[in-house]
Chains A and B, each alone.
Chain A
Amino acid sequence: MGILILNSIFQPGLVHFLTVSAILFSLGLMAVLSKRNVIMVLMGVELMLNAANINLLAFSRFTGLGLDGHMIALFVVIMAAAEAAVALAIVLNVYNRFKTINLDEISQLRG
């Protein structure tokens, strides 16, 4: 009986996937808040987007919500691709002008 309960706790269910995504999200938050390199901040944003996607797919898998979560996750991936391309073009422009990508030193708005 005890083994049965232990087995059902460790069997990966909805809460297990949600916990993984929560940890991934907070790691991404840590990167966004504490790093001062633009590219590291971008990597943190990607981690947070992936955490959100795991949530969407987990709810689609374990509840009767159908495939709508898959569609939203697909559009999140599309948006992440567009965001990464534009953001890195901006980063290259900023580096070309300021010769640094430290967020604290990029404080000038006038071109």
Chain B
Amino acid sequence: MDLAAILFYVFALVTIGSAAVVVFSRNIVHAAFSLMFTLMGVAALYVLLYADFLAATQLLVYVGGILILILFGVMLTSQGYTLNFREATVNVVPAGLLSVAAAILLIYAFSTGGWVITEVDERTDTVYDLGMMLMTDYLLVFIVAGVLLLVAIIGAIVMSTRLSVNTED
């Protein structure tokens, strides 16, 4: 096995192992921190898939933004003591059965799909091509995404402002 294969297995193990900690941990802070390792492992898998720009975006947006938001959510909604960090877990057996069934079906479908694999050239960087596509074929989607982010920002600000009003009365 060459270096890329070893790296793939290492990062796949990191990703799946820390995702399992996210799901099965009893402590929500442990879950949030192991989510960070999951997201970093996914970013490394993106690098192995020649997606350098997506890997950088994953690190910036997920690890730098969404994870911090989630940690803020955990801390602002905890009632003070570690006992209340523990989350309620229900329906473990039906949910586990459904998840295992979903995993088996997906892996079966993926491994018997008969995909036509064409070995593409190794890409050195994707930033130039992605930028050209954003400004030509995907221009409308790009603008709509900007509007979506603006609407989300306004919505979050409005809801947070109502939050402080509610606390006062």
**Residues of A near any B CB (own CB < 8 A):** 7, 10-20, 22-31, 33-37, 39-40, 42-44, 46-47, 50, 53-54, 57-64, 67-68, 70-71, 73-75, 77-86, 88-93, 95-97, 99, 101-102, 104
Provide the residues of chain A in CB contact with B57, threshold 8 Å: 74, 77
Interface size on B, residues (CB 8 A): 86
Report whether A15 and B148 are in contact in the complex, using a CB–CB cutoff of 8 Å: no
CB distance from A78 to the nearest CB of B (A): 5
**Residues of B near any A CB (own CB < 8 A):** 1, 4-5, 8-9, 12, 15-16, 19-20, 22-23, 28, 31-32, 35, 38-39, 42, 45-46, 48-51, 53-54, 57-58, 61-62, 65-66, 69-70, 72-74, 76-77, 79, 87-92, 94-96, 98-100, 102-103, 106-107, 110-111, 115-120, 126, 129-130, 133-134, 138, 141, 145, 148-149, 151-153, 155-156, 159-160, 162-163, 166-167
A26-B102 CB under 8 A given contacts A12-B9, A36-B87, A96-B166: yes
Report whether A88 and B72 are in contact in the complex, using a CB–CB cutoff of 8 Å: yes
Provide the residues of chain A in CB contact with B130, threshold 8 Å: 67, 70-71, 74
Given A15-B110, A50-B38, 7 further pairs, Cβ under 8 A? A16-B12, A22-B103, A39-B32, A39-B70, A79-B145, A93-B159, A97-B166
Provide the residues of chain A in CB contact with B45, threshold 8 Å: 17, 20, 54
Q: How far is the CA of A67 from the CA of B90 in the complex (A)?
A: 41
Choice from A53, A67, A90 contacting B159 with Cβ under 8 Å: A90
Provide the residues of chain A in CB contact with B46, threshold 8 Å: 53-54, 57
Report whether B22 and A91 are in contact in the complex, using a CB–CB cutoff of 8 Å: no
**Secondary structure type dominating chain A contacts:** helix
Q: How far is the CA of A24 from the CA of B8 in the complex (A)?
A: 15
Q: How far is the CA of A92 from the CA of B91 in the complex (A)?
A: 25
Report whether A86 and B166 are in contact in the complex, using a CB–CB cutoff of 8 Å: no
A67-B22 CB under 8 A given contacts A36-B90, A54-B45: no
Provide the residues of chain B in CB contact with A12, threshold 8 Å: 4-5, 8-9, 48
Provide the residues of chain A in CB contact with B32, threshold 8 Å: 39, 43
Report whether A60 and B49 are in contact in the complex, using a CB–CB cutoff of 8 Å: yes
Report whether B99 and A26 are in contact in the complex, using a CB–CB cutoff of 8 Å: yes
Report whether A37 and B88 are in contact in the complex, using a CB–CB cutoff of 8 Å: yes
